[in-house]
């Protein structure tokens, strides 16, 4: 029974949208803008891969709480660097997992740009 309850949660998280690394400025829950550098916007980097459910522990998934996390990072020689959570809701619930996921971002072109934003939405 426990597994049956966890399956819809996992499917919802697996389908969460990780927005492209540098398509447009992100916004917080009350419309507060999170600035993306013009350099990052101009680079037209590939979108980040969706965050796999396996990155979030089962005890956190059981809470079945929707939220989002915005991470600012640089891309240095095609790899994410200097990643930091700039906003999230609920604060702290998914931050560590999304930050770890953002750190895995790679750009096949080997670009170097600063001030990119990745926003991951978690929906249940």
- Summarised one tens digit per residue, pLDDT across range 40-97 is 889 989 888 899 989 999 999 999 999 999 999 999 999 999 999 999 999 999 999 9
Q: How far is Cα 33 from Cα 72, in angstroms, rounded to an integer?
A: 13
What's the per-residue H, E or C state across 37-101? Answer: CHHHHHHCCCCCCCCCHHHCCHHHHCCCCCEEEEEEEEEECCEEEEEEEEEEECCCCCHHHHHHH
Structural tokens at position 74 = 């640089």
Structural tokens at position 113 = 């740009």
**pTM of the predicted protein model:** 0.74
Q: How far is Cα 97 from Cα 80, in angstroms, rounded to an integer?
A: 15
Domain 2-122: CATH superfamily, name plus number: TonB (3.30.2420.10)
């Amino acid at each position: 029974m426990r597994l049956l309850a966890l399956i819809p949660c996992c499917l919802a998280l697996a389908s969460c949208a990780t927005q492209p690394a540098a398509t447009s400025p992100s916004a917080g829950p009350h419309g507060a803008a999170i600035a993306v550098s013009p350099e990052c916007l101009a680079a037209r980097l590939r979108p980040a891969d969706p965050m796999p459910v396996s990155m979030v522990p089962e005890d956190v998934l059981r809470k079945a709480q929707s939220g989002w996390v915005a991470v600012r990072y640089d891309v240095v020689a095609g790899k994410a660097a200097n990643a930091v959570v700039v906003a999230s809701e609920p604060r702290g619930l998914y931050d560590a997992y999304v930050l770890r996921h953002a750190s895995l971002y790679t750009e096949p072109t080997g670009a170097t740009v600063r001030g990119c934003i990745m926003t991951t939405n978690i929906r249940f």
